[in-house]
Amino acid sequence: MSDVLASIKFDADGFMEDAKQWNKEVAAALAAKEGITLTERHWVVLDYCRKEYEAKGEAPTLRNITKNTDVGTKELYELFPGGPGKLAAKIAGLKKPTGCI
C-alpha cells in the first residue's frame, strides 16, 4: 500500500470511513489500486460526487451523475469499468452507496 493511504481507515469493502481524510493525492492512490489513471474526465465525475456528497450526505446515483454532468452512462462505464457508481464513490473517498431495494 502506498504511503498516502497508510493513515486512512477503510471499511470491509475498501470504502473510506472518514471523507475528510480525502484529497487529490489520496484519490490518485485509490484509483491506482483499482488500475485506473485519473484523467480530466474522471475529475468531472469525482468533483461532482464530492459536491453532491457535501450537499446531501450521500453519493449520487448514476442517473444523477449523467443528468447533471456532461458525462454519459457509456462513458461512465469506460472511466470506471465494472461498477461506476461504487467505484466513483470509492475513489472520491465517500461511504459505500446504499443500494436501493
Partner 1 sequence: MKTFLILGGGTAGTMMAVKMSKKLDPRQWKIIVVDQEPSHVYQPGLLFLPFGVYQPQDVLKERRSFLPRSVEYIETPIERIEPEANRVVLGKDQRVIGYDYLVIATGATIRPQETEGLMDGGWRKNIFDFYTYDGAVALADFLKKFEGGKVVVSVAEMPIKCPVAPLEFIFLADWYFAKRGIRNKVDLILATPLPGAFTKPKASAMLGSLMEKKHIHVEPDFAIMEVDSGSNAIRSYDGREVPYDLLVSIPVNMGAEVIENSEMGDDLYFVPTDKETLQSKKYENIWVLGDAANIPASKAGAVVHFQMEPAVENILAHMQGKPMHAKFDGHANCYIETGYNKAALIDFNYEVEPLPGKYPLPLVGPFSLLQESVINHWGKLAFRFMYWNMLLRDIPLPVSNHMSMVGKKLN
Q: So which residues are the catalytic ones? A: 100
Lay out the site mask for partner 1 across 61-90 (x = CB under 8 A, - = otherwise): xxxx--x-----xx-xx---xxx-------
Smallest distance, partner 1 to C-beta of residue 24, A? 27
Print the SS3 string covering 61-75. Answer: CHHHHHHHCCCCHHH
Comparison of 35 and 99: residue with beta carbon closer to partner 1:
99
Residue 37 binds to partner 1 (criterion: CB under 8 A): no
Residue 39 binds to partner 1 (criterion: CB under 8 A): no
